[in-house]
A and B are shown apart, each in its own frame.
Chain A
């Protein structure tokens, strides 16, 4: 099926289609639905293209199916109908859960090295790479610490390092910073942006925070619940370098307002 239109959206207010990404799609969702075993329809007939190398946020109220969608993209939950296409080569995936999801009986280093270990990489090589990743998230000192010896923010950094250690093409993040305090969350937002700028993986970021979605992404996809479907698709024309200056700028406030209105529309829909 050759479908040149980048995205399909329903009832998009204001900014609709203004700057839809034209880069080749990393992943295409076509008519994706998910019905749980108990009969609940979680996601219905959803079409979505994610451009390679882009940073896209999925924003929506709790229970709108955005986490389910992410799990389907990751192959962790089967689709009820529809299909997921990978136009390029099947990508390497990284997944960051809402909780740090670390193995408490392993050190930070061994936790980061886990994906490489499962792939059968030799110990010396996987430890070297895991050490590099820990350095990138600023945790070189904590390599031999166990998760319970680390703070919540540090655990999340370890979790991100683990997701990036395989050098994924597509990083899926499921509300990774929801449980953190605001100061830590701001810092991790910046860390994540620096990592994305350096590695240019495709990032799909599930969140229920308007501010976080605008700060991080090039595009915010707003979902409505019951059953989960696309409500709005907003490009975020922000400066390439996002930092604390952007966070306090009028354009940031304006974008947040536009996204908030779209979200309010989604919740009323």
Chain B
């Protein structure tokens, strides 16, 4: 394994970083040029430069809001992982439990969060807790559904092998079913990471909670009311950036856990 390296990364990784980066630069340049050339007012579409300036100028309040939103997102994801995996384990132990509860998990998933968020915010006194519940509802389903599929698709011969050697239910779960479900769980986790951010943002929009502990969605609302469109875009850029960072870190986690054994994490040139 000696692929040529450049600045610490395998050489063939660089195009995958540089190509989209170049594309982004070109698009941003075209945007800035178009805004200036056609004289589009900043309160309709601000150029990237103006947005960048707003990002720097409003950094203290935007950064604080980012932390608030990320906190809800990460907490929701943690709760979704814990509850999702536990529920999937329950499902895998008994077909009856799965048949009984899976439809409700589906209902929870297909009901638009925007529609139930107001109710949750009315019912739950604590705004932070309400936001957490909303984000959790959105993030929870991919974990349950993927992990359940993973737990149920364990190689039947391996299950037989464990039985042949007198493995306990517990040994079979820990040493066979859970590791076998890992790739499925991680695929669900990558989806849920993005969804929990979306859930947190949507809930913040609905709650419209102001004050010191308000997140990025509230900054967007606030900037909209005040017609501070560059600041609105700056907050939007931060949300996208946060989403990308979440996705990349979960992808990295998945790669590190699976690279030695799973097809999905194999380098294409072997």
A residues contacting B by CB (< 8 A) are 71, 74-76, 93, 95, 97, 99, 101, 103-106, 114-115, 117-119, 146-148, 166
Contact = CB atoms under 8 A, between A and B. Distances in A.
Contact of A99 (B157, B166, B176, B180): B157
Given A76-B163, A114-B165, A147-B261, A105 B182 contact: yes
A93 B180 CA distance: 25
A4 B2 CA distance: 67
Interface in B163-195: 163-167, 171, 175-176, 179-180, 182
Given A99-B157, A105-B261, A148 B266 contact: yes
Contacts of B58: none
B164 A93 contact: yes
B237 interface: no
Nearest to A95: B164
B164 A76 contact: yes
B164 A101 contact: no
A3 B157 CA distance: 35
A76 B175 CA distance: 20
Interface string B63-84: 0000000000000000000000
A76 B165 CA distance: 11
A166 B158 CA distance: 17
Contacts of A105: 179-180, 182, 260-262
Contact of A75 (B164, B175, B261): B164
A105 B155 CA distance: 13
28 contacts: A71-B160, A74-B164, A76-B160, A95-B161, A97-B157, A101-B158, A101-B161, A103-B158, A103-B176, A103-B179, A103-B180, A104-B261, A105-B179, A105-B180, A105-B260, A105-B261, A105-B262, A114-B161, A117-B175, A118-B162, A118-B171, A118-B175, A119-B165, A119-B166, A146-B261, A148-B261, A148-B263, A166-B165
Nearest to B163: A76
Most buried by B among A95, A105, A147: A105
A118 to B, nearest CB: 5
Most buried by A among B175, B176, B262: B175
Contacts of A115: 165
Contacts of A101: 155, 157-158, 161
Nearest to B160: A76
A129 B11 CA distance: 42
Most buried by B among A71, A118, A146: A118
Contacts of A99: 157
Given A101-B161, A118-B162, A119-B165, 10 more contacts: A76-B164, A95-B161, A97-B160, A101-B158, A103-B179, A105-B180, A114-B161, A115-B165, A118-B166, A146-B260
Contacts of B162: 118
Contacts of A118: 162, 165-167, 171, 175
Nearest to B262: A104
A9 to B, nearest CB: 29
Nearest to A117: B175
Contacts of A76: 160, 163-164
Contacts of B158: 101, 103
A71 B157 CA distance: 11
B155 to A, nearest CB: 6
Nearest to B176: A103
A76 B159 CA distance: 10
Interface string B191-209: 0000000000000000000
B117 to A, nearest CB: 40
A148 B182 CA distance: 17
Contacts of B266: 148
Contacts of A97: 157, 160-161
Nearest to B162: A118
Contacts of A71: 160
A75 B166 CA distance: 11
A166 to B, nearest CB: 8
A75 B266 CA distance: 37
Contacts of B166: 118-119
Contacts of B182: 105
Most buried by A among B180, B260, B266: B260
Interface string B132-164: 000000000000000000000001011011111
A54 to B, nearest CB: 21
A147 B180 CA distance: 14
Nearest to A115: B165
| A-B CB proximity, top 3 nearest | A101-B157, A104-B261, A118-B165
